[in-house]
């Protein structure tokens, strides 16, 4: 895939409203705000010293005509002092802007990430991870570049344009009018032309990236390519894409040739025209040779600044767009949950769960009722199994119990209290989930088990791993508990990941346990080990078991059969098997006849 490029970031028009939104970023500067303002003062000094340089250079040249060594020495000394001062001012300007930016963006990043992880599941169900990553990486980087250098450079170029034009007018009004009618227009035209050339370069990069995708796909699926004897097809596909690259690159090369010709003839021609007219004025006695040198240098400053300021303005537009997108995320309402670890122990609940006439539909598809009038009770210590065809809302029940989403109708009670009256952290602190697709973080086995209780002792971690039937395989690794599991636990088998997840849940010691098809994707041997660990995990707590394999729930205290969002059957295994033409009986006959 072609990598996301900062050049692809959308721009935002600079208006009073967008500028006002962008300045909100200064709220994140805290005690570092003064560094930005002091940096602006040093920026002003840098511009002033830069503007003094051409004037003094002209005066130094005029010393030839006057044959005044003393004055030449004095002006040369002044130029050295100005260069020294400019280097000092530039250092402090850059240092202060970088210091201000890094501290401000550190606060912004933490605030953005904190808000992001506290947003409800309904938000994440509508957003792509890549888009959110872009906010924290590309958008913040764009803001960083702008605050560090772009704003400063924009203001510096602006000072050079205004100051340069005023000083040019002071030297010669006639020559200034000529310069303003030629040089800035050519400089701006060069920028527009240059942007057009870059667009072609970007197209070439995109096509090269597309050709790399073909190579990547072919290499990853090489066994399929060879099995179908389609090498010729892949070669033709790659050859076609490379021809597109060559075609666009040649066209881009032609335009670059035009651009080079334009620069040589027009831009340098404009400078020649200014110098020629200046020489004529100098010959006629209207200005000295030194003034002409000063004028040429000022013209160069102004022309370069006109060319640079357009690009800088585009960068600022991108930064304002990035700022607006970042603050869109910060404006999202997070769940009421702490940003730091709660020092107080989570108040334990008993674990009686009641669903009363619960109805629910996802915000993205309001017209489809996922659950309709669902009612059941799970008392403390009971095992309640939920079965039914795929897509009937089994996992949705678990999500609603965890308060990932808000129900449309009815109520959910825990220990007789509405779950929306509980502190969210306290409610979830009393629950654990062992999902079908276990998510492990990229650290060590110890860190993944301790995720259930970050301040757990070594003894507690070892005990939990033994109860989860995980201790033996962990000890078989050379690094034992320090074994790196890899991204999403890629270095562990499915059964090993499930047992790590069970150890994590055991360590948390929840009152309510949710098992979401925890053994459905395992082989028979792994399932046996995991099932043994689950039996230990379910002891002395309320368990909601979302099951695919009916063999794992025969001993459940109550089985709920969910079909088309409604509970159609309810009872023990024996009671449901006895029902004529029941969904559970049909599912059971189907599974056990296959096995």
Task: Encode pLDDT of 332-344 as tens digits.
Answer: 777 776 656 665 5
Q: Which of 66-70, 216-220, 375-379, 491-495 is predicted most confidently?
A: 375-379
Q: Which of 3.20.20.70, 3.40.50.720, 1.10.274.10, 3.40.50.300 is the CATH number of 340-430+553-595?
A: 3.40.50.300
Query: Residue 149 pLDDT more than 60?
Result: yes
The arrangement of strands across the sheet holding 417-418 comes to: 371-378, 353-360, 409-414, 417-418
Q: What is the pLDDT of residues 223-277, one digit of tens each?
A: 887 787 888 888 888 888 888 878 877 877 777 777 777 777 776 777 777 778 7
**Between residues 566 and 183, which one has the greater pLDDT?**
566
Check pLDDT > 70 for residue 459.
Answer: yes
Integer angstrom CA distances of residue 256 from 73, 195, 252, 261: 46, 11, 6, 9
Q: Domain ranges for the chain, please list them.
A: 11-171+316-335, 173-286, 340-430+553-595
* Mean pLDDT value of segment 126-134: 68
The proportion of the chain whose per-residue pLDDT surpasses 90, expressed as a percent, equals 0
d(CA 536, CA 556): 14
CA 100 to CA 94: how far, in whole Å? 10
pLDDT at res. 213: 77
The full DSSP string for 252-270 is HHHHHHHHHHHIIIIIHHH
Helix axes 69-117, 151-171, angle to 10 degrees: 150
Tokens 């904190």 sit at which residue? Answer: 114
- In tens, the pLDDT along 350-379 reads 888 888 888 888 877 777 788 888 888 888
Confidence (pLDDT) at 470:
81
Provide the pLDDT confidence category of residue 21 given band limits of 50, 70 and 90.
low
Three-state secondary-structure class, residue 80: helix
pLDDT of residue 16: 63
- Inform me whether the pLDDT recorded for 536 exceeds 50: yes
pTM of the shown model = 0.66
- Give residue 1's pLDDT: 38
Spatial separation of the C-alpha atoms in residues 587 and 572, rounded to whole Å? 15
The residue-averaged pLDDT of 300-327 equals 73
Joined tokens for residue 58: 């002209």
- Residue 189: is its pLDDT beyond 50? yes
| pLDDT, mean of residues 485-494 | 67
User: What is the model's pLDDT at position 363?
Assistant: 75
Question: What percent of the chain has pLDDT above 70?
Answer: 84
- Angle subtended at Cα 58 by Cα 55 and Cα 63, rounded to the nearest 5 degrees: 130
Q: pLDDT band for position 573 (50/70/90)?
A: confident
Predicted local confidence at residue 6, as pLDDT = 44
Residue 516 has pLDDT above 50, yes or no: yes
Cα dist. 141→148, 165, 262 in Å? 10, 34, 34
pLDDT at 80 over 80: yes
Q: Is residue 146 within 8 Å of 14, Cβ to Cβ?
A: no
Architecture of the domain spanning 11-171+316-335: Up-down Bundle (1.20)
Mean pLDDT of the chain: 77
Reported as a single tens digit per residue, the pLDDT across 382-431 is 888 888 777 777 788 888 888 888 888 888 888 888 888 888 888 888 88
**The pLDDT of residue 130:** 64
- Give pLDDT, residue 60: 78
């Amino acid at each position: 895939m072609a990598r996301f490029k900062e050049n692809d970031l959308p721009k935002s028009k600079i208006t009073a409203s967008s500028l006002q939104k962008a300045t909100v970023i200064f709220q994140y500067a805290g005690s570092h705000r003064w560094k930005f303002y002091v940096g602006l003062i040093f920026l002003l000094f840098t511009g002033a010293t830069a503007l003094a340089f051409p004037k003094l250079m002209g005066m130094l040249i005029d010393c030839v005509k006057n044959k005044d060594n003393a004055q030449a020495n004095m002006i040369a000394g002044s130029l050295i002092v100005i260069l020294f001062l400019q280097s000092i001012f530039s250092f402090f300007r850059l240092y202060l802007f970088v210091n201000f930016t890094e501290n401000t963006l550190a606060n912004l990043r933490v605030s953005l990430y904190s808000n992001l992880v506290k947003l409800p599941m309904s938000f994440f169900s509508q957003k792509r991870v890549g888009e959110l990553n872009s906010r924290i990486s590309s958008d913040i980087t764009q803001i960083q570049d702008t605050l560090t250098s772009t704003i400063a450079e924009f203001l510096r170029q602006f000072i050079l344009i205004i100051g340069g034009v005023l000083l040019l007018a002071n030297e010669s009004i006639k020559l200034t009018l000529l310069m303003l009618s030629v040089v800035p227009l050519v400089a701006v035209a060069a920028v527009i032309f240059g942007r057009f050339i870059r667009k072609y370069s970007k197209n070439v990069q995109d096509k090269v990236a597309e050709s790399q995708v073909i190579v990547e796909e072919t290499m990853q699926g090489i066994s399929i390519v060879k099995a179908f004897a389609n090498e010729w097809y892949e070669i033709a596909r790659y050859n076609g894409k490379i021809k597109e690259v060559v075609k666009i690159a040649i066209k881009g090369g032609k335009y670059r040739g035009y651009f080079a010709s334009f620069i040589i003839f027009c831009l340098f021609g404009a400078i020649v025209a200014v110098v020629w007219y200046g020489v004529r004025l100098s010959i006629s006695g209207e200005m000295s040779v030194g003034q002409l040198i000063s004028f040429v240098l000022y013209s160069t400053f102004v022309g370069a600044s006109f060319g640079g300021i357009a690009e800088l303005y585009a960068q600022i537009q991108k930064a304002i767009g990035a700022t607006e997108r970042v603050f869109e995320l910060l404006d999202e309402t997070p769940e009421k949950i702490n940003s730091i670890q709660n020092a107080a122990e989570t108040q334990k609940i008993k674990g009686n769960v009641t669903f009363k006439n619960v109805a629910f539909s996802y915000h993205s598809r309001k017209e489809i009722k996922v659950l309709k009038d669902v009612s059941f009770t799970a008392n403390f210590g009971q095992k309640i199994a939920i079965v039914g065809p795929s897509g009937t809302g089994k996992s949705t029940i678990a999500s609603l119990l965890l308060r990932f989403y808000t129900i449309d109708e009815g109520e959910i009670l825990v220990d007789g209290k509405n779950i929306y009256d509980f502190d969210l952290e306290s409610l979830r602190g009393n629950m654990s989930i062992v999902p079908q697709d276990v998510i492990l973080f990229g650290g060590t086995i110890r860190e993944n088990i301790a995720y259930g209780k970050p301040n757990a002792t070594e003894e507690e971690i070892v005990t939990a791993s033994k109860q989860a039937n995980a201790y033996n395989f962990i000890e078989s690794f050379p690094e034992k508990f320090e074994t790196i599991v890899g991204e999403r636990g890629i270095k562990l088998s499915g059964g090993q990941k499930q047992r790590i997840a069970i150890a994590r849940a055991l360590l948390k010691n929840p009152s309510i346990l949710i098992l979401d098809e925890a053994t459905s994707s395992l082989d028979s041997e792994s399932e046996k080990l995991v099932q043994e660990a689950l039996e230990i995990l379910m002891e002395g707590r309320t368990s909601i078991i979302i099951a695919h394999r009916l063999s794992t729930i025969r001993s459940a205290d109550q089985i709920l059969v969910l079909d088309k969002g409604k509970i159609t059957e309810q009872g023990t295994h024996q009671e449901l098997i006895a029902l004529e033409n029941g969904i559970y009986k049909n599912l059971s006959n189907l599974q056990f006849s296959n096995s």
